A = this chain, B = another copy of it.
């Protein structure tokens, strides 16, 4: 059993209307002038932005706004945010959006007190001494950034996607109102559910066993996601199902289902190259690659896969753990397909040739500088094989 650290200090308010507390919460964390950071037009058109900004004003907090964060958020937008904050005296960043917006806000919070370029943190050239305080109003249940210590950015031409983690990167507060996710398109809801499932699986496939209670909690979270994701495909305005999925998304990445630092993370790293290269949705990239990864590493510990299927999908106990493991992988793929998510690159509409596969594999190892994974360590050759077997 591996030792672990648990640190998840973000204050969460969960329920209808909690976005109205943004002003109060920002003031509690010292804001005098906030940057309200968001993505596309939906935050504006739905009236959410107005409600949040009105809440800030009521609490005497001035604000600037900066929209236009795209999925796989770009470092250029972060640089723009840092400049705007400096020019206008902003001392608090408020993300209104999903994981991309929160990750971009974290980037701005990192960059604001730093003299160099914020990308330095993401490519390992610098460590932060401080960050500006920041919080979130969550509108997409998926990435878990609202309670994680991580931020993932993509460079400007979209070819390089890199994450940075620090205990300074926890939101001061996150406001979770499930109603704000009612209008998400089915595809985005599905991608979010895949993302949270994989956040659990990355932690589940730890080389040193987790605590049994940690596994049991993770299995519980996955069961609830599977059940409620299916409900949302036919009834996207089901408050209870939205609430289950939203809280599951947060719990899937705040380390209560396993310490991130003891997890595997190969699937995420394999996917980062895919979405860096093709700009597909993160959740769809994950569902497209996970089965190929799972079959490639299965022999390391087939019983682990078999237990997973028994607990999450109630598959029968097989005499042969390899049979149980294969059944488990099938069940996850069946679940992803039931959400109309791809389980191969072809299904994701991606048809890389051998040259591109080799390029992605190279980049995934930081050009030979690292192996990925922990359940099974994977070098460039392993990675190439997994990409190949994910093709269709």
Which chain B positions have C-beta within 8 A of A213?
220-221, 224, 244, 247-248, 251
Counted per complex, copies of this chain come to: 2
A8 touches B5 (CB 8 A): no
Q: Are B212 and A216 in contact (CB under 8 A)?
A: no
Q: How distant is A12 from chain B, measured CB to nearest CB, in Å?
A: 4
**A350→B282 CA distance, assembly (Å):** 61
CA distance A267 to B13 in the complex (A): 27
Question: Which residues of B are found within 8 Å of A18, using beta-carbon distances?
Answer: 3
Closest-CB distance, A119 to chain B (whole angstroms): 28
B3 touches A12 (CB 8 A): no
Q: Is A358 an interface residue (CB 8 A)?
A: no
Question: Which residue from chain B places its CB closest to the CB of A170 in the assembled complex?
Answer: B9
Interface residues on A, range: 35 or more
Q: How far is the CB of A171 from chain B (nearest CB, A)?
A: 12
Whole-angstrom CA separation of A4 from B7 in the bound complex = 20
B216 touches A224 (CB 8 A): yes
Q: Are A211 and B244 in contact (CB under 8 A)?
A: yes
A12-62 contacts to B (CB < 8 Å)? 12-16, 18
Is B212 a contact of A244 with CB atoms below 8 Å?
yes
Interface 1/0 per residue, A211-223 and B, CB below 8 Å: 1111011011101
Rounded to whole Å, the gap between the CB of A250 and the closest CB of chain B is 8
A221 and chain B: residue at smallest CB distance: B213
Q: Mark A324-362, 1 if CB is under 8 A from B, else 0.
A: 000000000000000000000000000000000000000
* Bound Cα distance from A9 to B7, whole angstroms: 7
Choose one: B14, B217, B223, B240; the contact of A5 (CB below 8 Å).
B14
Query: With a CB–CB cut-off of 8 A, which chain B residues contact A15?
Result: 2-4
Residues of B within 8 A of A212 (CB): 224, 240, 244
Query: Once the chains are docked, how many angstroms separate the CA of A247 from the CA of B257?
Result: 12
Give the residue name and chain of the B residue nearest to A7 (CB): B11
- Of the residues B14, B211, B239, contact of A4 by C-beta under 8 Å: B14
Please name the residue on chain B nearest to A246 by beta carbon.
B211
Q: In the complex, A251→B16 CA distance in Å?
A: 26
* A12 partner, pick from B5, B12, B211, beta carbons under 8 A: B5
What CA separation (Å) do A7 and B175 show in the bound complex? Answer: 12
Task: List the B side residues contacting A8 at CB < 8 Å.
Answer: 8-9
CB–CB A12/B7 < 8 A = yes
Interface residues of A (CB under 8 A from B): 1-9, 11-16, 18, 211-214, 216-217, 219-221, 223-224, 239-240, 243-244, 247-248, 251, 256
The 3 closest A-B pairs by CB, nearest first: A3-B15, A9-B9, A216-B220
24 cross-chain CB contacts under 8 A: A1-B239, A2-B15, A3-B14, A3-B16, A5-B11, A5-B12, A5-B13, A6-B14, A8-B8, A8-B9, A9-B9, A211-B244, A211-B247, A212-B240, A213-B221, A213-B244, A213-B251, A216-B220, A216-B221, A216-B223, A217-B251, A219-B220, A220-B220, A256-B256
Given A2-B15, A9-B9, 11 further pairs, Cβ under 8 A: A1-B243, A3-B15, A4-B14, A211-B244, A212-B244, A213-B220, A213-B224, A213-B247, A213-B251, A216-B220, A217-B221
